Amino acid sequence: MSAQDILGQDEIDALMRGVQAGTIAETPPPPAPAEGEARGFEAAAPRARQNAIDGDTARAKRLADPARVRTEIARGIDVFRLKPSEFLTQNEIDAAILVRNEELNTQQQVRITWPAASPVALAYVDQLTRSKSIDAERARSVKTALDRVDGLRTGKERGAAATLDQLDALAGQFERDGANASGRDAMRMRALAATLKGRAQKLR
């Protein structure tokens, strides 16, 4: 049974506006346990108990507080925003957020395909650079070519044809290198080639 089976969409929207405006209170926290009764983090899931054992009582209490958990789940997972590090570049993060799912069902295991966009190509370049499969000069040539392509609006501008041809030439090089590579590097080179070709094709 869903919320729509009980309330109409207008009623749901009105309730949400009331909660956001503060005129409708959110679910209050549960009452304090009676004498001798297990407290929240002691009676919570194993993760909460383990945090308490490890000394992280603040995290244990957050996990054990059902009112807090409901509030955080309702707000969404925007708090889990990734940040660049030595293991993950900003280009990889930008490429990841290009994927949008209108409906998520983990049992379907839908194959994700990334668009032929510059952040995706740059993410592959960062991965190949990290694995030392391409040198810094070659990575710079791809970034320069993509910067020029991103500056085009229609693909009909003066010099646009040469810029797009350069991108196709780079794609051809990575296709050939991918045929001689192995493992993840081969897959990334082929994917980079396809992304560069797709990016140029959009402007032809």
pLDDT at position 99 is 84
Domain range spanning residue 25?
Answer: 9-75
The pLDDT assigned to 43 comes to 44
Task: Give the orientation angle of helix 160-180 with respect to helix 136-150, to 10 degrees.
Answer: 140
* Residue 1 counted as domain residue: no
Asked whether the beta carbons of 124 and 108 are under 8 A apart, the reply is no
**Are 70 and 87 found together in one domain?**
no
CA-based angle 158:163:167, to the nearest 5?
Answer: 160
Count structural domains, the chain.
Answer: 2
Q: What are the E-state strand segments in 19-84?
A: none
Same domain, 100 and 201: yes
In a domain, 183, yes or no: yes
H/E run at residue 107: none
d(CA 104, CA 102): 7
Looking at residue 59, its pLDDT comes to: 59
The alpha carbon dihedral of 132, 134, 138, 140 has a sign of: negative
> Which pLDDT tens digit goes with each residue over 54-67?
555 665 555 555 55
Are both 55 and 128 inside the same structural domain? Answer: no
**Rounded to whole angstroms, how far apart are CA atoms 70 and 4?**
19
- pTM score, whole prediction: 0.60
